[in-house]
Structure 1
Amino acid sequence: MKKKLFFANMALTSRIIFTNYTNMKFFSLLHSKRVLIFAMLLFGLSAKTYAQQKGSLMDVDTTMLKRLLLTMKKYEYVGISGYIQPQYQFIQSEGAKSFNGGDFAAGVNNRFMLRRGRLRFDFARFDKNNLPQLNFVFQFDGTERGVVIRDFWGRFYENKFNLFSVTTGMFARPFGFEVNYGSADRESLERGRMSQTLMKVERDLGLMLSIEPRTKQSFVRYLKWDFGLFNGQGLTATSDFDNHKDAITRLSLKPLKLSQKLIVSGSVSGLFGGMEQFTKYIYKMSDAETKAFFVDSSSSNIGKIAPRKYYGADIQVKIPNRVGNTEFRAEYIRGTQTATQSSSETPGVIPTLNGKNAPLYIRNFDGAYFYFLQHLGSKKHQFVAKYDWYDPNKKVKGNEIGKGFTAADVRFNTFGLGYVVYPNDNLKITFWYEIPKNEKTNLNDYTSDLKDNNFTCRVQYRF
């Protein structure tokens, strides 16, 4: 009887467990073959243990079986996933700057590189009613440039009203669509120039409350509201350098099927933050007819908070058809950004210049992106067209950009065309051609359009 119980439980542990809740899939850590190997190893250990202690063989078998079952039960909701993205790129000129995988080295106009190499661990725990109690995620990114963390967060759920959850740790900021759309699923190779500049690496340390009704009785199940407090510097910083926190919020509509041929989703977002001014020199754009920065050098500036405020809205429209989907996406963001003279990127450390705290520059910006996606004959083939712009300084343009300004004030429009093929569920191949267009200015390096058109072929392996 005990032998029958042993083999019955061994068969049970070899099954793969799939659990899908709130758009998150948790799958078994151990596939059937691995389970059997794992069980054999533990069974082998039991024999060794038996040789070192007294008692009947059957008693030891039962003890080890219990240990095995406890181990398997503990890890039945652990998931391991990952992907790698090797790619080849060619750009028009040697040493060109690029937001498509990073700048090229001096004297180089083509390269092989590993864009991303992700390994992710998920764990979920459920109560007796199969409602989620908590889950946590570890994700690492490894390339030829080193290994860094990406996600280290935990989330616990309230199960009395099935209404809210709380997330803490390192995770994506709840702002907009593109920032939260995963790199493994995104049809274009990279996020737009604006997203990469304002929210580099997308993630930050903080705490987030999510209101998300988990009932199926009313329209509110399609709504989700996130509100979080974050350090503000994201993964570009090793630690927080001031006492100010960024407040970020997003109200989103989950995909809503309006008809058999129309699915709509979208959100509105806001970021209300800033950084402490460690210098008295604060530059702002003049409202006068002559476009220029003017400096406020009042000693009282030190210790005040320089603003960083973003406002955004996005929409996604999907039209199912016989061969797949036709889809349109759009997102617009505008606001105020505090950075430095040479960059509009959110500072990760206290900016310095010649050993002293560098002046801060406050600019009004806006930007947007638009996608058109179309399956070609089947879901295995897809055409992608994308247009995005980022204007880091809305109060100056074209030939007005000269003395006193830098590349951080130049607007870029980027056109991208791609063909994506999905041979199977674990393989994706993307061919992408990108055409960035900078505005022509009186800056030495930007009197004409830069030669930075680029082509990429990327292969993604995913499990």
Structure 2
Amino acid sequence: MKKIIAYLITLTPFTLFAQNNNAPSSKDIHDIKITGYLQTQYQKAQSNGIVSFSGGDFSQNSDSRFMIRRGRLKIDRVDEYSNIVFQLDATQNGVNLMDAFIQLHLPKVESFLLTGGLFNRPFGYSIIYSSGYRDFPERARVFQTLMPRERDLGAMISYKPHQVLKYLSADLAVINGSGLTARDYDSKKDIVANLAFDFDSLANKTMSLGFGASYYGGTVRSNTDTYFTFKDHGFVALTNSQNVGKNLKREYYGANLQFQFANPLGKTSFKTEYVEGTQPGIAASTTVNGPTASTSFNSQPASNLYLRKFNGYYFWFTHQIAKTNLTALLAYDVYDPNTEVKEAEIGKAGNNTTAGDIKYATLGYGLTYAINGRIKLTLYNEHVKNNPTQANGYQEDLKDDVFTARLQYRW
């Protein structure tokens, strides 16, 4: 928690405020409204078959691909007492349900909103920030790992004052914890809390400021009699018949900070977010790629669980060049799934560490061109870095950089 506080105090922020996924297309009362966006793209990887957080892993014998990254169709309706949102995602892999929730509000108690169904987990900034408005092609690796597909099933109460505290918003959700699936594999439920402050008009409307803090509290059920915790320089096994069915702690603390300002050279924004905590994962193996060993589960994990202390963060910098339709992009993100071990010790005989404990850093840079109000072209390159370890296949930096050329149409 001290790291979270220090992060908020010491950073100088800059950012654009999120288009909230947990909301209809507009707050005005309206009948059925259809919106959405389509993202089609070409990607070139540094080598064949890489594990990638830029739209998914590449096929075993391929280092390039065309794909539909997202094909979203959103239907919503707003009346005096309720909102309803239903969203599908159609790609070359099929059609998936993305959002399906009902929101209730009372005209005399407009500050409170009750949401039930499938919605974005209200954690931090980037999770609820719509991919149709985000300048960067993907969310940071840490959030893709902790909250894959962003959504979960549950209920949420939101508070947004309209008068004295109009800059404040708060959310408290109770969710399954298994992500975008109705198959919750235990009876425990997870809690997500978010507190945010948005000052969207400062210094004669030339500046915007936002910041917030988040908490995620939950568990993952153990399906075996053994789980691993970290001690000294490696994992130690705890074996007991009573460990079968035991719920192991899953806990995150997050902080985010944003600032945007208009200046003679254009519009500049900077977004940053930090998260740390405890993540139950599994060991990397011949069937589990290293980076996916600490991914949150949408089904009961059959393998022994590993409790890891982690942290991660990102910096997103954008600059709209003067009054043109060009925006320069620069990003840097880090995800360390095991902050208690040094990279040089990973894979060392006897310490039970695996490729699932490796730290990754990604430097991204590119350019977007807004052809008009609906069409946007993005050219973006990601340089992914991991330090050498003793784990097989990870003795040196992997060749897993990715270039993306994307065309998006939003309606």
So what's the TM-score if we normalise by structure 1? 0.79
Unaligned runs of 5+ in 2: 1-21, 285-292
CA distance in 2, matches of 1:265, 1:24: 22
Q: 5 Å matches for 1:73-88?
A: 76-88=30-42
Residue 212 of structure 1 pairs with residue 157 of structure 2: no
Residue 244 of structure 1 pairs with residue 194 of structure 2: no
* Deviation per residue, 1:120-166 (Å, 9 max, x gap): 0010002xxxxxx2111110000111100000011011322322010
Aligned residue for 1:224? 169
**Which residue identity lines up with residue 230 of structure 2 in the other structure?**
M
Residue 375 of structure 1 pairs with residue 329 of structure 2: no
1:308·1:338 contact (CA, 8 Å) conserved in 2? yes
**Which residue identity lines up with residue 224 of structure 1 in the other structure?**
S
Aligned residue for 1:259? 203
Residue 170 of structure 1 pairs with residue 118 of structure 2: yes
Unaligned runs of 5+ in 1: 1-21, 29-74, 127-132, 353-357
**Which residue identity lines up with residue 223 of structure 1 in the other structure?**
L
Q: 5 Å matches for 1:75-114?
A: 76-114=30-68
* Deviation per residue, 1:102-135 (Å, 9 max, x gap): 1110110111111111100010002xxxxxx211
- Root-mean-square deviation (Å): 1.7
**C-alpha spacing 1:416/1:407, structure 2 compared with 1 (3 Å):** same
Partner residue of 2:263 out of 321, 332, 337: 321
Residue 196 of structure 1 pairs with residue 144 of structure 2: yes
Partner residue of 1:303 out of 238, 245, 250: 245
CA distance in 2, matches of 1:136, 1:396: 47
Aligned residue for 1:281? 226
2:24·2:84 contact (CA, 8 Å) conserved in 1? no
Residue 349 of structure 1 pairs with residue 294 of structure 2: no
CA distance in 2, matches of 1:294, 1:23: 45
CA distance in 2, matches of 1:24, 1:155: 10
**Which residue identity lines up with residue 398 of structure 1 in the other structure?**
E
1:170·1:205 contact (CA, 8 Å) conserved in 2? yes
Residue 365 of structure 1 pairs with residue 302 of structure 2: no
Cα shift at 1:240: 0.6
CA distance in 2, matches of 1:25, 1:191: 21
**Which residue identity lines up with residue 411 of structure 1 in the other structure?**
K
CA distance in 1, matches of 2:375, 2:319: 19
**Which residue identity lines up with residue 348 of structure 1 in the other structure?**
N
2:346·2:390 contact (CA, 8 Å) conserved in 1? yes
Cα shift at 1:275: 1.7
Residue 412 of structure 1 pairs with residue 360 of structure 2: yes
Aligned residue for 1:55? none
CA distance in 2, matches of 1:238, 1:25: 25
**Which residue identity lines up with residue 247 of structure 1 in the other structure?**
I
**Which residue identity lines up with residue 170 of structure 1 in the other structure?**
L
CA distance in 2, matches of 1:172, 1:76: 23
1:370·1:386 contact (CA, 8 Å) conserved in 2? yes
Cα shift at 1:174: 0.4
* Deviation per residue, 1:294-315 (Å, 9 max, x gap): 0111222223210100000001
CA distance in 1, matches of 2:143, 2:34: 28
**Which residue identity lines up with residue 370 of structure 1 in the other structure?**
F
Cα shift at 1:25: 4.0
2:334·2:362 contact (CA, 8 Å) conserved in 1? yes
Cα shift at 1:427: 0.1
CA distance in 1, matches of 2:138, 2:118: 21
Count of aligned positions: 378
Q: Give the stretch that moved more between structures: 386-395 or 445-454.
A: 445-454
**C-alpha spacing 1:279/1:175, structure 2 compared with 1 (3 Å):** same
Partner residue of 1:312 out of 254, 260, 271: 254
**Which residue identity lines up with residue 437 of structure 1 in the other structure?**
K
Partner residue of 1:395 out of 340, 349, 352: 340
Partner residue of 1:186 out of 134, 144, 148: 134
Residue 339 of structure 1 pairs with residue 281 of structure 2: yes
2:98·2:151 contact (CA, 8 Å) conserved in 1? yes
**Which residue identity lines up with residue 124 of structure 2 in the other structure?**
G
Cα shift at 1:238: 4.3
Aligned residue for 2:235? 293
CA distance in 2, matches of 1:364, 1:430: 35
* Deviation per residue, 1:171-230 (Å, 9 max, x gap): 000001111111111111001111000000000000000011133xx2x01101100000
**Which residue identity lines up with residue 110 of structure 1 in the other structure?**
S
1:26·1:77 contact (CA, 8 Å) conserved in 2? no
CA distance in 2, matches of 1:326, 1:422: 16
SS in 1 for 2:311: strand
CA distance in 2, matches of 1:425, 1:412: 36
So what's the TM-score if we normalise by structure 2? 0.89
* Deviation per residue, 1:231-280 (Å, 9 max, x gap): 00111x44111011110000001234332333101110000101222222
Higher helix share: 1
1:176·1:312 contact (CA, 8 Å) conserved in 2? yes
CA distance in 1, matches of 2:113, 2:313: 31
Residue 157 of structure 1 pairs with residue 105 of structure 2: yes
Query: Whose radius of gyration is greater, 1 or 2?
Result: 1
**Which residue identity lines up with residue 317 of structure 1 in the other structure?**
F
CA distance in 2, matches of 1:117, 1:443: 38
Q: Give the stretch that moved more between structures: 311-320 or 292-301.
A: 292-301
Aligned residue for 1:454? 402
CA distance in 2, matches of 1:76, 1:253: 28
**C-alpha spacing 1:253/1:24, structure 2 compared with 1 (3 Å):** farther
SS in 1 for 2:52: coil
Identity %: 38
2:222·2:301 contact (CA, 8 Å) conserved in 1? no
SS in 2 for 1:103: coil
